[in-house]
Amino acid sequence: MVKALIFDVFGTIVDWRGSITREVRAIAEVKGFQINAGKFANEWRSGYQPAMDRVRKGHLPWLNIDALHRLILDELAKKYQLGQMSEEEMNTLNLAWHRLKPWPDSVRGLKILKKKYTISPLSNGNFSLLNNMAKHSDLPWDCIISAELFGHYKPDPETYLGAAKLLDLNPSQVMLCAAHKDDLLAAQACGLKTAFIKRPREFPPSVNLDLSFDKRFDFNADNVIDLANQLSIV
Amino acid sequence: MVKALIFDVFGTIVDWRGSITREVRAIAEVKGFQINAGKFANEWRSGYQPAMDRVRKGHLPWLNIDALHRLILDELAKKYQLGQMSEEEMNTLNLAWHRLKPWPDSVRGLKILKKKYTISPLSNGNFSLLNNMAKHSDLPWDCIISAELFGHYKPDPETYLGAAKLLDLNPSQVMLCAAHKDDLLAAQACGLKTAFIKRPREFPPSVNLDLSFDKRFDFNADNVIDLANQLSIV
């Protein structure tokens, strides 16, 4: 019997693309430079997997996501010629990832699920990022579980198994809820239950992702409230 | 400026003595044995510091508090001749520490403080214990920080500094709130701010503890709501 629901965050609970696009557009207006803010947001996010891989392969020491986001931002700043931004402005922009806005169903869905389950993020975002984001957007987590606690990034098994161990649960008592099938399959390989949450607006339409419901997962849901419905607790 | 309040839990937020006494009395009634439940609770708690010291000195491997509580319970079971209890009953009794009841002001006080600060336990209790206790008693933590995350027990500096690091704050931006002066002084030595919370009923009257307000601490409060008052957020 499942006791805890752990959630991917970027894309599953919050809309990183819309949020980052808005923040980049806002600062561009203040600073008076022209920029394709949506493209910038996508490129910032695209740099994230390769940066984690550099950590995973030992080409970089352990760096948290704030530090990886800043590495990528510094490269993008050169490409987009953002040289006119101060260190303080760069730091504030980098922390835009702490202020990502939830999808419209996320907070209400989580509040329903919290009545019956322990709910926690299981995210590659660092602990302080996840805590600040929750404070900022009223995400009602019971606790914060970050990949940072294990010194491993998802989809390394240490993260899924580490979350179950911290909660003192068997892997089969924990369900990962995520919009990304690779994340779910990695959790499933560790013995966790899985719930796919469809997020068709996470990426721009030009990105061709597999958003189909999938029998390999224990649940397939249109959003977090739909998941609560399927778990019969609405 | 303080951004996060971290709390000692056993004694400061929850009444371990009253809770354990009630649970022991209840199981004694069910099983039909005579026991001085209050004395049993005090002895169970008294075994806790020596057990942590055995871990700290390397005489035991890292064991979490659930495991330490069970070690002590097994010894007490011999002394009090509880041989008639099944393994399941012993395990349920051991988990009484997950069900400790908050002091009357704790939940309301924490809800007020949460509006302005990140609030978290910093407890030697293991992560799952603290999470289960919060679910059980509606403790509104933003996140759960357990000594278990650092592989060190309070008052080791790794715990206070580890909490600040996880929150990405300087030690001086974090305030430990606790009913025990040794805990506060250890945090202060690491650069944290300190708030003493007076809990005159934590121990029986026969235990002569120093409960006086103390100028060495940044705040001295009668309870959690009083602390919120002093921080001007009521």
pLDDT computed for residue B41 by the predictor:
96
* Interface subset of A 167-196, CB within 8 angstroms of B: 167-169
- Kindly indicate whether the ipTM for this predicted assembly is greater than 0.90, answering yes or no: yes
- Cross-chain CB nearest to B143 (options A118, A126, A144): A144
In tens, the pLDDT along B204-227 reads: 988 888 999 999 999 999 999 999
pLDDT grade, residue B234 (50/70/90)? low
Q: Are strands B193-197 and B219-221 parallel, antiparallel or unpaired?
A: parallel
In tens, the pLDDT along A60-85 reads: 999 999 999 999 999 999 998 887 88
pLDDT grade, residue A209 (50/70/90)? confident
Q: Which residue of A has its CA nearest to B125?
A: A166
CA neighbor of A45 nearest in space, from A28, A13, A69: A69
Exposed (0-12), middle (13-18) or buried (19+): which is A43, by Cβ within 10 Å? middle
With a pLDDT cut of 70, the percent of chain A lying above it is 99
- Cross-chain CB nearest to A142 (options B66, B126, B135): B135
Sole residue written with tokens 């934590």: B202
pLDDT computed for residue B203 by the predictor:
95
* Tokens linked to A138: 């009223």
- Cross-chain CB nearest to A167 (options B66, B118, B131): B131
Interval B164-172 mean pLDDT: 98
Q: In 10 A of CB B84, how many CB atoms?
A: 10
Which positions in chain A touch B149 (Cβ < 8 Å)? 149
CA distance A167 to chain B (A): 5
Instruction: Tell me the average pLDDT of chain A.
Output: 95
User: What are the residue boundaries of the structural domains of chain A, listed by start?
Assistant: 4-15+100-230, 16-98
Q: Is the pLDDT of residue A234 over 80?
A: no
pLDDT grade, residue A33 (50/70/90)? confident
Range B4-15+101-230: architecture per CATH: 3-Layer(aba) Sandwich (3.40)
Q: Is the pLDDT of residue B179 over 60?
A: yes
Please tell me if residue A211 touches chain B, with a CB cutoff of 8 Å: no
Would you say A94 and A70 are in contact if contact means Cβ atoms under 8 Å apart? yes
Interval B60-71 mean pLDDT: 93
CA neighbor of A160 nearest in space, from A130, A123, A110: A123
Interface test with B, best of A136, A168, A169 (most B CBs within 10 A): A168
Interval A31-47 mean pLDDT: 93
Cα–Cα dist A68/A52, whole Å? 8
In tens, the pLDDT along B79-123 reads: 988 878 899 999 999 999 999 999 999 999 999 999 999 999 999
Q: Is the pLDDT of residue A31 over 80?
A: yes
Which residue did the predictor score with more confidence, B45 or B33? B45
Q: Is the pLDDT of residue A192 over 90?
A: yes
The domain covering A4-15+100-230 belongs, at the CATH homologous superfamily level, to HAD superfamily/HAD-like (3.40.50.1000)
pLDDT grade, residue B197 (50/70/90)? very high
User: DSSP assignment, residue B111?
Assistant: H
The topology under which CATH files domain B16-98 is DNA polymerase; domain 1 (1.10.150)
pLDDT grade, residue B15 (50/70/90)? very high
Interval A120-140 mean pLDDT: 97
pLDDT computed for residue A83 by the predictor:
73
- The pTM for the full model equals 0.95
